Structure 1
Amino acid sequence: MKTRIPAAVAAACAVAAPVHAQESFTLDPIIVSGGLTPIEAARYGRSVSVVTARDIEERGIRSVQDALRAVPGVAVNSNGHSFTQVRIRGGEANHTLILIDGVEAAGGDSEYILTGLETANIERIEVLRGPQSVFYGSDASAGVINIITKKGSGGVQYGATAEYGAGWSASGFVAVRDDRGGLSFGLTRRDDEGWDYSGSGGEKDGIDRWTMTLAGDYEVVDGLTLGFTWRMSEEHYDADGTDWTATTPQGYVVDDPTQFSDRDEQTMQVYAEFERPDSRVSGRLAFARTENTQSYSGGAPTETVGETAKLRLSYGLDGPVTSGNHVVNLLAEHERDSSTTNPLYKRKNNSIALEYRGSFGNGLDLQLGGRFDDNSVFGDSVTWTAAASYTLQNGVRLHASAGTGVVNPSYFELYAAAFGYTGNPGLDPERNQSFDVGVEVPFAQGRGSVDVTLFRETLTDEITAVSTGPGTFSYVNQTGDSDRRGVEVAATFAATDTLDLRLGYTWLDADNPNGSIELRRPKHALTMGATLRTMGGRGTVSADARYIAGNYDTQNFGTFATAKLPDYWTVDLAATYDVTPNLMLNARVENLFDKDYSDSWGYASRGRTVYVGLSSNF
């Protein structure tokens, strides 16, 4: 009997497609992160974008943070390239949960800071917008980013890449897979010389990072698969200092060769999955652990750890789980985390979640869910979600979703006793309520599509620092609402057999409870791109332009007031050429017109940079 590849592996091997919200794929791929189990993209009612391995290759994308810059609804802000935060739909950076192969990238209660995280050996990046706490708990209040690594698609596969420009990078990958399972191994190294964040032409602030991944799965008996994923990274990066007495942006960030950080990351997961094509019942038992250690300028390291045990059971109401139209999923989860900054305070929570999915055969699909979290050191929480997708006979698809999300207080907010801060153990979780509605319209006989989504999100009980006296502070849950509303537009068009066009646009209005504007959330973000296949299909040329306007940040110098950053355009170029069926030459230019721009006050951007490289696949 021919056996099946586990759902997560099958999704990671799906055919690549251009980036756009509410994707229309040619071979019905699934969204791995779309709920308690993967779901077909055409049935999914929530707002999602996918960056595929093909996008990464053709557009010359070398870091995850750069891959996210073209995704609607996502704001990427950097203090240089060693400290990058991601905000979805105007939420805070710690309101977006980042996963790697379904495992939380951050340990403990920390948000995951993107530095040199590379795209080599990544199969796809799924970006889910709107609250996902029903499925992923705390920190998934504004959205989820799931980075899925390559696992191999059949037989023996191997390949390598090398690139030189402002530094160098190299990667290797090997995988073997048959009908019963497979094993894959990836290794990457990136030594990026960086640039001078101060903009004064001084010492460059670089990143040296390597990452190793190992994954395997095997169907030990009919329908029962055992598997694991393991990932380890080590990174050293440089930084600059700041001058609080500065009066201009140029004087705020200053060269300081004594500023650096060392960062070690490790994530692992082991699981057992039962699923048969003819069974009404399926299940998955998994244990995951994330352990991150970071030190600054040679100081004592901080270790954060998160551990999760999950049991998911699925039942097909009208037939087998894999082919039925109505499925119920049940999740029981136990999570605990810790940090060496607060060794006496370890948090635990127990959760239970229920999800229903229904496909009614007339173009209507529904997803409903609820979750209860029993937290050990602060208030319990209840979250819910609802989504619908309806496809008309002419191919137009309507989609809508609503739901709630939570973000738990951090260790520091609860128990701080340093730097003039005193924690508040009485804090409640922050709560987000959201709804969106959109329409996806195909045109030009299916060669193009445009998706427009309107969204509204309201954050309550937002945690903020307050003064308790001269030089002393604590934390409170704010009174009032933080409102965010906006529009996301995504479009793709195969203009000819060889020319593909793409567009993304986000308009965002985000305010604090007192009516002041939220920081580092651009009001307008526009991306436009084109990929031309040439030389008889052996070559590609891609161009991507990005426009950012209406971005505000606090000047930590001079008046220390919130002020608008200058609007800017950037353009990147990339090209590939197949020297042989197994060897490809690539070249790219970042910031083609050498524009000066900044995502945060005082931090200079990287100038025009040229790279060339080779990649091979067998």
Structure 2
Amino acid sequence: TENDPSIYPAIYDNRTGMNDFRQWQEAVRLGYDVNDKVKVNFTYRRLDSYFEYPTPYVDYSQWPSVPDSHLYNTEDKNRSNLVTGRVDAEISKLWSTSFMVGHYNMDYSCHTPGFDFQPNVMRNRRFQVEWRNALTWNKEWKTIAGMAWDRSDYMSENNYVAKDEWQSTLAFFAEQMWSPTDSFDASVALRLEHDSVWNNHFTWRYSNSWKVTGKDSPTRIFGSVGSGFRAPTYFEQYAANYGYVGNPDLDVSKSLGGDLGVEQRLADGHYASVTGFWTRIDDEIGTMSVGAWPNSYTTYANYSHCTSYGVEAAFKGQFKDAWNSGYYANYTFTMPKRDSIGKYETIQMANTARHTINAEVYTSPVEKLTVGFGVTAAMGRTDYNYARLDNFFTARLFARYQATDNVSLHVRLENLFDQKFIMTNDYNSGPREARGFGIFGGVTVEF
């Protein structure tokens, strides 16, 4: 993709630069059935991307006058590979097992010719092994248990920092599932992790589903409650690049949350549901601005706590007619609040929206052709730094035609009315606009 964005018109006299983005992805999955009880799978994924974009430069030593302002073309290069192998085996009617091994690597570089900066280079390597077992005791009881181990290495080097870190994690997990009747099921899951950097962490989850008057009941009640945690990323700890400074003293954030809902069958093939949810995160990891522009920068900090609660209403259904029509729609209202550092006020969490809407209808007016229309909207949005963002509403059209048994054609028209709105505010290049009206098409060949 190519386009010409305007960069800081007040400073750079409406100068423009070229955005040039190219990406190549490839993936393959191979499966082999050794026999009816043993199966082997192999996957490989690769990504190569190149992004060239204009970067503003100002001689800050003479600010606020700007006698020497330039636009340079920054080059971002990213390459990643993912390889996994997996064996699934049914040892007996009681015991089935699976063993997975995987490796991931990523190499990233950011270079701006003309700047007196060494290229920013990041590298990540990760190796993971997981062994999972399922024990089916009878029709009512089933146990899943296993262990996982992974090791990751991270390197970052630029003008400001040189880091080469590693960590390993060993985890044990188990889940007990119970289905005493055809209309009720429940499960309890436990997980214990030992990390070379973050020590020990224990998490749990309980969930259940109940069809109120039997397996064919039009009413189902469901819910879950559980805990979790998130360790700081390498970037949040060690970043030191173009306005972002990491914080090596960050702590792990922990969460507790749950949901409770009811689903009602309105008619054959048509359902409505209402779900309430609540989550509290302690020591939430978020961004924080330090200093005044042009000498400001963004860093990361642990906030006291934040809460997110709300309700979601959803509808879905299919019409059993000659056109094979269907629809879905959901609306989510969320109140995501975060305590400010050292203050008694609360603000909305970063990268959240108070109202989101997503809906779609589709039909097949003629044989082998499916067409549809959808909408997406969000209101009450914030960016990464907690500032307010535009509300937006976009529409889309799509179609798929099965030309032969092996070939299908598909096309999408996104942002049908060419709505303009800000997706996020980047620290270096300012507001990032969402892409406008676009047409995407392709062909799928199956063999």
Q: What interval of TM-score do these two structures reach, taking the shorter chain for normalisation? A: 0.7 to 0.9
How far apart, CA to CA, are the structure 2 residues paired with 1:367 and 1:379?
27
2:358 aligned with 1:527, yes or no? Answer: yes
- Pick from 248, 258, 270: which aligns with 1:448? 270
How far apart, CA to CA, are the structure 2 residues paired with 1:477 and 1:609?
40
Larger radius of gyration: 2
% identical aligned pairs: 20
2:77 aligned with 1:262, yes or no? Answer: yes
Q: Is the 8 A contact 1:203 1:255 kept in 2?
A: no
Q: Aligned pair in 2 of structure 1 residues 541, 201: CA closer, same or farther (>3 Å)?
A: farther
Residue pairs, 1:388-537, within 5 angstroms? 388-392=208-212, 393=214, 394-414=217-237, 421=245, 423-425=247-249, 427-445=250-268, 447-464=269-286, 477-479=302-304, 481-495=305-319, 497=321, 498=323, 499-514=325-340, 515-535=346-366, 537=367
Q: Could you say which residue in structure 1 is the equivalent of 2:63?
A: none
Q: Could you say which residue in structure 2 is the equivalent of 1:302?
A: 122
Determine helix, strand or coil for the equivalent of 1:454: strand
Residue pairs, 1:9-408, within 5 angstroms? 192-193=1-2, 196=5, 202-203=16-17, 205-220=19-34, 223-241=37-55, 258-275=73-90, 278-297=92-111, 299-318=119-138, 324-341=139-156, 343-392=163-212, 393=214, 394-408=217-231
Determine helix, strand or coil for the equivalent of 1:428: coil
Q: Aligned pair in 2 of structure 1 residues 412, 282: CA closer, same or farther (>3 Å)?
A: same
Q: For this pair of structures, how many residues does the alignment match?
A: 403
TM-score by length of 1: 0.59
Determine helix, strand or coil for the equivalent of 1:596: coil
Q: Is the 8 A contact 1:265 1:292 kept in 2?
A: yes
Determine helix, strand or coil for the equivalent of 1:603: strand
Q: Is the 8 A contact 1:379 1:429 kept in 2?
A: no
Q: Which amino acid aligns with 2:22?
A: D
Q: Could you say which residue in structure 2 is the equivalent of 1:168?
A: none
Q: Is the 8 A contact 2:247 2:301 kept in 1?
A: no
Q: Is the 8 A contact 1:576 1:585 kept in 2?
A: yes
How far apart, CA to CA, are the structure 2 residues paired with 1:565 and 1:468?
21
Q: Is the 8 A contact 1:195 1:206 kept in 2?
A: no
2:421 aligned with 1:592, yes or no? Answer: no
2:371 aligned with 1:551, yes or no? Answer: no
Determine helix, strand or coil for the equivalent of 1:346: strand
- Pick from 421, 427, 435: which aligns with 1:606? 435
Q: Which amino acid aligns with 2:303?
A: Q
How far apart, CA to CA, are the structure 1 residues paired with 2:21 and 2:289?
37
Q: Is the 8 A contact 2:312 2:330 kept in 1?
A: yes
Q: Is the 8 A contact 1:456 1:483 kept in 2?
A: yes
Q: Is the 8 A contact 1:197 1:603 kept in 2?
A: no
Alpha-carbon distance, 1:352 to partner: 0.8
| Superimposed CA distance per residue, residues 68-120 of structure 1 (whole angstroms, 9 cap, x where no aligned partner) | xxxxxxxxxxxxxxxxxxxxxxxxxxxxxxxxxxxxxxxxxxxxxxxxxxxxx
Alpha-carbon distance, 1:367 to partner: 1.4
Alpha-carbon distance, 1:578 to partner: 3.9
Determine helix, strand or coil for the equivalent of 2:317: strand
Structure 2: unaligned runs, 5 residues or longer: 9-13, 60-68, 113-118, 157-161, 341-345, 426-430
Q: Aligned pair in 2 of structure 1 residues 211, 519: CA closer, same or farther (>3 Å)?
A: same
Alpha-carbon distance, 1:526 to partner: 0.9
Structure 1: unaligned runs, 5 residues or longer: 1-191, 246-253, 319-323, 556-561
Q: Is the 8 A contact 2:280 2:306 kept in 1?
A: yes
Tell which has more relative contact order, 1 or 2 (C-alpha 8 A, sep 6+).
1
Q: Is the 8 A contact 2:38 2:88 kept in 1?
A: yes
How far apart, CA to CA, are the structure 2 residues paired with 1:403 and 1:279?
31
How far apart, CA to CA, are the structure 2 residues paired with 1:345 and 1:294?
16
How far apart, CA to CA, are the structure 1 residues paired with 2:108 and 2:248?
25
Alpha-carbon distance, 1:325 to partner: 3.0
Q: Which amino acid aligns with 1:229?
A: T
| Superimposed CA distance per residue, residues 485-514 of structure 1 (whole angstroms, 9 cap, x where no aligned partner) | 112222212356223222121111111123
Q: Aligned pair in 2 of structure 1 residues 279, 467: CA closer, same or farther (>3 Å)?
A: same
